[in-house]
Amino acid sequence: MRQNKMILPTLREVPKEAEITSHRLMLRAGLIRQLASGIYTYLPLGYRVLKKVERIVREEMERAGAQELLFSALQPAELWHQTGRWDDYGPELVRLKDRHDRDFVLGPTHEEVITTLVKQEISSYKKLPVNLFQIQTKYRDERRPRFGVMRAREFVMKDAYSFHTSWDDLDVTYKTMYTAYSNIFSRLGLFFRPVEANSGAIGGEGENHEFMAMAAVGEDTIAVCSHCDYAANLEKAEAADVPAAGLEPTADAPAFAKLHTPGTKTIEQLVAALGLEASVFLKTLVYLADGEPVVAVVRGDHDVNEAKLKDLVAATTLELANDTTILRTLGAPVGFIGPVGLKGVKIIVDKSAAKVASGVTGANEADYHLQNVVVGRDFTPDTVADIRNVVEGDKCPNCGDGTLEFHRGIECGHIFKLGTKYSSKIGATYLDENQKSQDIIMGCYGIGISRCLAAIIEQNNDEGGIIWPVSVAPYHVHVIPVNVKDEEQTAIAENLYRRLQAQGVDVLIDDRDERPGVKFKDSDLIGIPLRVTVGKRAGEGIVEFKVRKTGETTEVSIEQAYEEIMGMVLGQ
Ligand code: 9G3
Count of CB atoms within 10 A of residue 495's CB? Answer: 13
Dihedral sign of CA atoms 535, 536, 540, 543 in order: negative
Dihedral sign of CA atoms 298, 301, 305, 311 in order: negative
159 CA: nearest ligand 1 atom: 14
Separation between Cα atoms, residue 327 and residue 453, nearest integer Å: 49
Long-range contacts (CB closer than 8 Å, 24 or more residues apart) made by 259-267: 259/360, 259/363, 259/368, 259/369, 259/370, 259/371, 260/367, 260/368, 261/336, 261/367, 261/368, 261/369, 262/367, 263/367, 264/335, 264/369, 265/334, 265/335, 265/336, 266/335, 267/300, 267/301
Separation between Cα atoms, residue 80 and residue 90, nearest integer Å: 13
Separation between Cα atoms, residue 559 and residue 399, nearest integer Å: 55
- Position 14 scores a pLDDT of 84
Q: Whose CA is nearest to atom 9 of ligand 1?
A: 202
Radius of gyration in angstroms for the set of CA atoms belonging to the chain, rounded to a whole number: 29
**Ligand 1 — pocket residues by CB below 6 A?**
85, 89, 92-93, 108-109, 140, 159, 202, 414, 444, 446
The answer to whether 378 and 340 are in contact (CB under 8 A) is: yes
Q: How remote is the CA of residue 463 from the centroid of ligand 1, in Å?
A: 36
**Residue closest to 193 by CA, chosen among 185, 201, 204:** 185
Q: How remote is the CA of residue 140 from the centroid of ligand 1, in Å?
A: 9
Q: Could you report the average pLDDT of every consecutive run of 10 residues in the chain (572 residues)?
A: 94 91 98 97 98 98 98 98 95 98 98 98 92 98 96 98 97 98 98 91 75 97 97 96 64 87 89 90 96 96 96 92 90 92 94 91 94 93 96 96 97 96 96 92 98 98 98 98 97 97 97 97 98 96 97 97 94 70
Ligand 1 site-directed mutation target among 87, 109, 112, most atoms within 8 Å of CB: 109
161 CA: nearest ligand 1 atom: 13
Q: Whose CA is nearest to atom 20 of ligand 1?
A: 93
200 CA: nearest ligand 1 atom: 9
Q: How remote is the CA of residue 388 from the centroid of ligand 1, in Å?
A: 25
Domains recognised in the chain with CATH numbers: 52-238+406-457 (3.30.930.10), 257-385 (3.90.960.10), 475-570 (3.40.50.800)
| Model confidence pTM above 0.85 | yes
- Position 265 scores a pLDDT of 85
Specify the 3-state DSSP secondary structure of 155. Answer: strand
The answer to whether 1 and 122 are in contact (CB under 8 A) is: no
Q: How remote is the CA of residue 110 from the centroid of ligand 1, in Å?
A: 8
Q: How remote is the CA of residue 108 from the centroid of ligand 1, in Å?
A: 6
Q: Whose CA is nearest to atom 4 of ligand 1?
A: 108
- Position 241 scores a pLDDT of 82
Dihedral sign of CA atoms 388, 394, 400, 404 in order: positive
Q: What is the DSSP letter of 244?
A: P
